């Protein structure tokens, strides 16, 4: 069982990704890994106004899900893949190894069909 501090940190990370725009941001940044994307590109790709995007990026940055670096006048955002790997390892350890609640082959399956279709 993970220490309480880890559980709280992972819960905060999941909560931060618990809105559709933030989850879309994380997925887009993962496709741009490792270079990342400038804020303007993110906003254009996701059709988010700058103030809304900034709000979502701040929350994801605060929870350690994204990183930001300044290059000249541009802010480059990248997915914090080590933190996301820790989160996935935490979930994987509980659901797929200790009590076999999930089939590891299904976790790694790239066919993202609906959950209902897999029941």
Residue 80 in domain = yes
Residue 105 in domain = no
Q: Is the pLDDT of residue 118 over 50?
A: no
pLDDT of residue 111: 64
- How many domains does the structure of the chain reveal? 1
| pLDDT class of 108 with cuts at 50, 70, 90 | low
Residue 22 in domain = yes
Q: Please give the distance of CA 51 from its chain centroid, rounded to a whole number.
A: 20
Domain of 77, CATH number, reads 1.10.10.10
User: Residue 31 CB: number of other CB atoms within 10 A?
Assistant: 9
pLDDT of residue 101: 67
Q: How confident is the model over 45-88, as pLDDT tens digits?
A: 999 999 999 999 999 999 999 999 999 999 999 999 999 999 98
Residue 112 in domain = no
Residue 114 in domain = no
Q: What is the pTM of this model?
A: 0.81
Q: Is the pLDDT of residue 112 over 70?
A: no
Residue 39 in domain = yes
Residue 32: give the domain boundaries: 4-97
Q: Is the pLDDT of residue 18 over 80?
A: yes
Residue 88 in domain = yes
């Amino acid at each position: 069982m993970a220490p309480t501090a880890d559980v709280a940190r992972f819960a905060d990370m999941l909560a931060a990704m618990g809105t559709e725009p933030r989850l879309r941001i994380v997925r887009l940044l993962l496709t741009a890994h490792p270079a990342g994307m400038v804020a303007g590109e993110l906003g254009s790709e996701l059709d988010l106004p700058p103030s809304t995007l900034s709000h979502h990026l701040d929350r994801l940055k605060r929870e350690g899900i994204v990183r930001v670096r300044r290059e000249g006048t541009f802010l480059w955002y990248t997915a914090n893949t080590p933190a996301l790997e820790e989160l996935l390892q935490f979930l994987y350890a509980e659901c797929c190894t200790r009590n076999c609640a999930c089939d590891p082959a299904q976790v790694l399956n790239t066919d993202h069909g609906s959950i209902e279709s897999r029941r």
